[in-house]
Chains A and B, each alone.
Chain A
Amino acid sequence: MNWLLAHFDTLRESLVRLARQPFATGLNVIVIGIALSLPVGFYLGIDNLQAFSRQLSSDPQVSIFMAMDAGAADIAAVERRLRSHPEVGRVDFIARDQALARLKRSAGLADVLADLERNPLPDAFVVTARSNDPSTLEALRDQAGRWPKVEHVQLDAEWARRLDAALGVGRLLVTLLAALLALALVAVTFNTIRLQILTRRDEIEVSKLIGATNPFIRRPFLYLGSLQGLAGGCAAWLIVTLALVVLNVQLAELTTLYGTAFKLQPLDAADSLLLLGFSAALGWLGAWLSVSRHLWQIEPR
């Protein structure tokens, strides 16, 4: 109980100490906040894009386009093969006239299409595979590509998969960026605590002389570092969340133009807590390094 009270007292004291120098504290918090908001912001962007691309790439559709000179018998042969294929679930045949009619309806291209002398679209099958496994889909694509009078086979989700892979690289870059900026946070805290230790030199010396243990002397500095890190984490959260609100307003205009509804999702509760915990822990680490580095230099004489 005493132990808990002592920690509570230290916490209160550290808050008072931070509040007593609002300018210095504020600047530090802003520096940490900006440093953290960069990787967090990028992470969030990638996360959103990845969720979007996953949603698209999870669609196990394969389009099979027939050659323009394919006859009814060829089409029937391909359909038969598809229907008996173990990996194929649903098969929809879209005749070329039907496709043209659909295109005229959907994209407002009626005028352009009306000028065409003949239908440029081929007959096509839209096949939904039973599994979403990329290698199965690719095998199906290669197989169907070799059938007679099949002009082209396309995995509809392929570009989404490529995007997903590219985002994996982006994720790695964000991790590297985060590691670098985490180092910056540790450095900022290290320096703040170093200055604190220097200004409280007398107090440390006297405390040592009257029997303070190293953990006792270290404690307020560790609290200070953690609190500063935590405040920086809060600042980063605010920066990212506000930026997201602004971006979503702009994005809403853009996506209505394209007829889709895409909205950037903010940090969820778990990620937010992770950010705050991480920043506090890094602050603690910076303070710990600083105290360990400087405390032994202050020995009473």
Chain B
Amino acid sequence: MTQSRQPGNDAQGSRMISVSHISKRYPGGYEALRDVTFSVEPGEMVFITGHSGAGKSTLLKMIAAIEMPSSGGVIINGQNVSAMKSGAIPYLRRNFGLIFQDHKLLFDRSVFENVALPLAITGFPRGEIARRTRAALDKVGLLGREKARPITLSGGEQQRLCIARAIVNRPAILLADEPTGNLDAAYAEEIIGMFKSFNQVGVTVVIATHDQALIGRLGPRILHLDHGTLAA
């Protein structure tokens, strides 16, 4: 890692994600992250590994401004997240495609409506929403299921639905928290293949996982978290 000590450094401007000296202490004294510093270049694919409770999810949440660090700073594409007004955070989040450990699908809406939600939020016209939503569903192989309810989908299909929702807005950064969590090896392989193809078209990808087997085959850049600190 070649991170700079000065957050204002010129080199920061070209970085997609720049995390400098962030720590997170929860009330009660538990320290989820301790002095973590790293950066991710545009178009890079990075894995964050570590045992459960090592702080992987917390780190992803700080990058997406879902949680704020107790100290230190996060800069996304030149924007200092910690200094951001709360009104600006929604616009920052539109740069991300988020894939959550617990999916966070809306079960009272159809597959199509779930994927269309980010576009509706951004304010696309209806025709454009339909076109882009179908394109995203096609990419994850769910085009035939657009009228289905998420509850009727298998675990792997639900995961693919999450991915479709994350990429439909064509985000610059994909953040995935345990995307292969409960899937068997074949499904996991397929999901990781999708991330690789998004990365190949220029999307910056950050994946948190504990699945060592998965990483071994890919040989990517790895950030290993151990009890909240970054191991080299």
Partners in one complex: yes
Q: Once the chains are docked, how many angstroms separate the CA of A210 from the CA of B124? A: 14
Beta-carbon contact of B93 and A211 below 8 Å: yes
Q: Which of B66, B120, B125 contacts A209 (CB 8 A)?
A: B66
Q: Once the chains are docked, how many angstroms separate the CA of A106 from the CA of B124? A: 79
Q: Once the chains are docked, how many angstroms separate the CA of A209 from the CA of B106? A: 13
Q: Mark B46-70, 1 if CB is under 8 A from A, else 0.
A: 0000000000000000001010000
Q: Once the chains are docked, how many angstroms separate the CA of A207 from the CA of B91? A: 12
Q: Once the chains are docked, how many angstroms separate the CA of A2 from the CA of B100? A: 30
Give the bracket for the number of chain B residues in contact with chain A: 20 to 34
The distance from the CB of A219 to the nearest CB of chain B, in whole angstroms, is 11
Beta-carbon contact of B123 and A206 below 8 Å: no
Query: What residues of chain A lie closer than 8 Å to B94, measured between beta carbons?
Result: 210-211
A202 within 8 A of B: yes
Beta-carbon contact of B104 and A211 below 8 Å: no
Query: What residues of chain A lie closer than 8 Å to B91, measured between beta carbons?
Result: 211, 213
Query: What residues of chain B lie closer than 8 Å to A209, measured between beta carbons?
Result: 64, 66, 93, 98, 100, 104
Beta-carbon contact of B106 and A210 below 8 Å: no
Beta-carbon contact of A208 and B90 below 8 Å: yes
Q: Mark A184-215, 1 if CB is under 8 A from B, else 0.
A: 00000000000000000011011111111110
Q: Which of A2, A203, A207, A301 contacts B123 (CB 8 A)?
A: A2
B200 within 8 A of A: no
B153 within 8 A of A: no
Q: Once the chains are docked, how many angstroms separate the CA of A213 from the CA of B91? A: 8
A5 within 8 A of B: yes
Query: What residues of chain B lie closer than 8 Å to A301, measured between beta carbons?
Result: 66
A6 within 8 A of B: yes
Query: What residues of chain A lie closer than 8 Å to B87, measured between beta carbons?
Result: 213-214
Query: What residues of chain B lie closer than 8 Å to A147, measured between beta carbons?
Result: none
Beta-carbon contact of B90 and A206 below 8 Å: no
The distance from the CB of B121 to the nearest CB of chain A, in whole angstroms, is 4
Q: Once the chains are docked, how many angstroms separate the CA of A129 from the CA of B9? A: 93
- Residue of A whose beta carbon sits closest to that of B103: A206
Q: Mark B157-174, 1 if CB is under 8 A from A, else 0.
A: 000000001000100000
Beta-carbon contact of B126 and A207 below 8 Å: no
Beta-carbon contact of A211 and B118 below 8 Å: yes
Q: Once the chains are docked, how many angstroms separate the CA of A162 from the CA of B118? A: 66
Query: What residues of chain A lie closer than 8 Å to B125, measured between beta carbons?
Result: 2, 5
B117 within 8 A of A: yes
Query: What residues of chain A lie closer than 8 Å to B92, measured between beta carbons?
Result: 211
Q: Once the chains are docked, how many angstroms separate the CA of A214 from the CA of B94? A: 14
Q: Once the chains are docked, how many angstroms separate the CA of A155 from the CA of B87? A: 69
A300 within 8 A of B: yes
Beta-carbon contact of A207 and B121 below 8 Å: yes
A216 within 8 A of B: yes
Q: Once the chains are docked, how many angstroms separate the CA of A16 from the CA of B53? A: 44
Q: Once the chains are docked, how many angstroms separate the CA of A21 from the CA of B199? A: 45
Contact A207 to B93, CB < 8 A, known contacts A2-B125, A6-B123, A213-B87: no
- Residue of B whose beta carbon sits closest to that of A206: B104
Beta-carbon contact of B165 and A210 below 8 Å: yes
**CB within 8 Å of B: which A266-301 residues:** 300-301
Q: Mark B23-47, 1 if CB is under 8 A from A, else 0.
A: 0000000000000000000000000
The distance from the CB of B102 to the nearest CB of chain A, in whole angstroms, is 10
The distance from the CB of B106 to the nearest CB of chain A, in whole angstroms, is 6
Beta-carbon contact of B104 and A202 below 8 Å: yes
Q: Mark B100-138, 1 if CB is under 8 A from A, else 0.
A: 100011111100000001101111111000000000000
A-B contact pairs, 21 of them (CB 8 A): A2-B124, A2-B125, A203-B108, A203-B109, A206-B106, A206-B117, A208-B90, A209-B100, A209-B104, A210-B98, A210-B117, A210-B169, A211-B91, A211-B92, A211-B93, A213-B90, A213-B91, A214-B87, A216-B90, A300-B66, A301-B66
The 5 A-B pairs of least Cβ separation, nearest first, read A211-B93, A211-B94, A212-B121, A213-B90, A211-B90
